[in-house]
Structure formats: structure tokens, C-alpha cells
Amino acid sequence: MSEQAFKAFWIEEKDDAYVRSLTERDISELPDNELLVRVHYSGLNYKDALSATGNKGVTRNYPHTPGVDAAGTVVDDSSGRFNAGDEVIVTSYDLGMNTDGGFAEYIRVPSAWAVPLPEKLDMKDSMILGTAGLTAAQSVYALARDVAPEDGDILVTGATGGVGSLAVAMLAKLGYSVTAITGKKSAADYLKSLGASTIIDRTSFLEGSDRPMLKTQWAGVIDTVGGDILATAIKSTSPQGIVTCCGMVASPDLHLTVFPFILRGVTLVGIDSQNCPMPLRTELWGKLAEAWKPAQLSEISTCIDLSQLDAEIEKILSGQHTGRTVIDLHA
């Protein structure tokens, strides 16, 4: 392999199918942006799995390298913002969507997308967190402004996924009583190890939920799935409660009346980590490096190399993936 060549996870469109493989690319083939980064770690997200299957709502043009998360060292920055050797985190924006992403040994991105790696966070832990951690932190941030631990229980949906797992752990660390919803009956011990005090089965949660208003149960909600679960959570949120919404794996549709909003004053907050403003992004990474950093990062993560990535993508697509998967690219 030449000095300019590197390994990448590659998605190609062939005969109306999308084929995944490992390939060798050249740095000169990367997008013409200011910041060249040698990637040490990346993280696997649901959006990456969609890109890897040819979802044109995520990635318009192929061939392509997914990976919305990357952490590594700066090789060069023509903008002058960073110096060679600086350690940086790049998550979201267009990385891994229509810009070649972190499932490769190098990325070249706009300098404005990068956050300096906080002193008290190493690169591997930053990718266990990744976009999932940033999204969970945004959700906790929005909820915690108006809901205190003594106000009541917080509901987390999709709790075994990347965002859900990290949200449970962060909330528990901050002193909240957390109820977790999951469709995986075997996950109770896992969720309790993260700090959940109560586990609810997804099916039982939806029973009798077709009424416009339900008995109040939650001071706040962090929803990662959308659809009927989000609607049911909103209907059962206490007056002045905060509900955050960051996903739609169950459904993008939301069937509700306005009653929870105008009779109970419930607030629904949309979470957009892709375009999170840089000042807030930097503040949240600072919290994730210290006060909000879950103690269980090693327990909720699996580390793989590029050759094992295809199998992990299949787990996400089949709903069998739990916690966070980190890809080691620096060996």
C-alpha cells in the first residue's frame, strides 16, 4: 500500500443491488475540503446502516463510504484552525451521508465540522459516545432545563439502542429516576446496569393507548423511536413535562390530538444533532468528557475492525443490535 493509499468500507451499486466490501482508496480521491484527518476510531449508527443499504434519503450517490462519526489526528488543515497532530472529533453534519465518512482510515472535511477532543476524553470513548452520545446529551440538556430529578420519573424509549442506552446512563448519573421501554425481554439486566429503575415491555406500554389522553406518569420523556410509542408517551406526560424526540425507527407518523399540549402544557422538543450549533456542540462534548460521561462505556460497547463491520450492520438492520459498536482503524 502506497503512502497515499488507505483502507475504506465501500458501498457500490451493481445490477440494482448495493454491494458492501473493503477497498483501497487514495487520499487524492477524497472531497476537496480543508481538514485532512487520520481516523483512529469510528462508531456505528442506524443512519450508517441505511447508507450501507442504498437508502437514497440518506446518501444520494454511490459508490460511497458511510460513517457519520470519526475521531482522529489532524494531518493537515489549510484553514489554519487546527495544527498537525491535533486530536479532533467529527460527527454528523454531512459526514458519511453525501461526504465520504468515518469507515475509512482518512477523511477530508470542512474544518468547521471538527470539535477539539476534550482533554479528559480519549478517542475511543469519544466514539463509544459519537453521534448517539451527542444526541442523548442534547436530549438530556433540553429536558434538564425544566425538569428536575425530584419532579418525577423520566421515560426513555428504545432504551437498548445507542441513544437510548446513553440517555439512560446519563440521566441516572444526574440523579433522575429512569423508566426504560424495550422490545427485548432479555435486556432487563443490561438496562438496570445502566441505571434504569423500571423496565416496561414495549407491547404492554401500548395497550389501551388509543384514547386522546392517558393517566399522567412521566415528568419527562426522551423518545428515540417515534410513532405510536411517542404518541403514547406524550399522552401520559405530566403537566409542564418535556418530551424530546430524535428518531423515527418505529414510524415518522405521529397520531395525536392537541389535548396534551393545550390542557397539560406538555412541550415537544425536536432534537437535531446533525446541525447542532457549534457553541452548543462544544459545550455538550465538554459535559460528556466529565460530569455527564457514563461510567459504563466499556460495558455498553463492542470494538471491531473494518472486516467485521458488515455483520454488525446486519444486526442493526434486523433489530438485534444493542449498545454501541466502535470501529478501530488505527491498528
DSSP state of 271: -
Residue 229 is predicted with a pLDDT of 97
Q: Per residue in 99-145, pLDDT tens? A: 999 999 999 999 999 999 999 999 999 999 999 999 999 999 999 99
Residue 271 is predicted with a pLDDT of 97
Residue 331 is predicted with a pLDDT of 66
Residue 183 is predicted with a pLDDT of 87
Q: What pTM, to 2 d.p., does this model score?
A: 0.92
Domains belonging to the chain, first-starting first, are: 5-117+300-328 (3.90.180.10), 132-270 (3.40.50.720)
Residue 1 is predicted with a pLDDT of 44
φ, ψ of residue 17 in degrees (nearest 5) = -130, 160
Residue 330 is predicted with a pLDDT of 84
Task: Give the position of cell 462519526.
Answer: 69
pLDDT along the chain (331 residues), means of 10: 82 91 95 97 94 94 96 97 98 95 98 97 96 96 97 96 93 97 88 95 92 97 97 98 94 96 98 94 97 90 94 89 89 66
Burial of residue 109 (number of CB atoms within 10 Å: 0-12, 13-18, 19+) = buried
Q: Could you give the CA distance from residue 52 to residue 301 in angstroms, rounded to a whole number?
A: 21
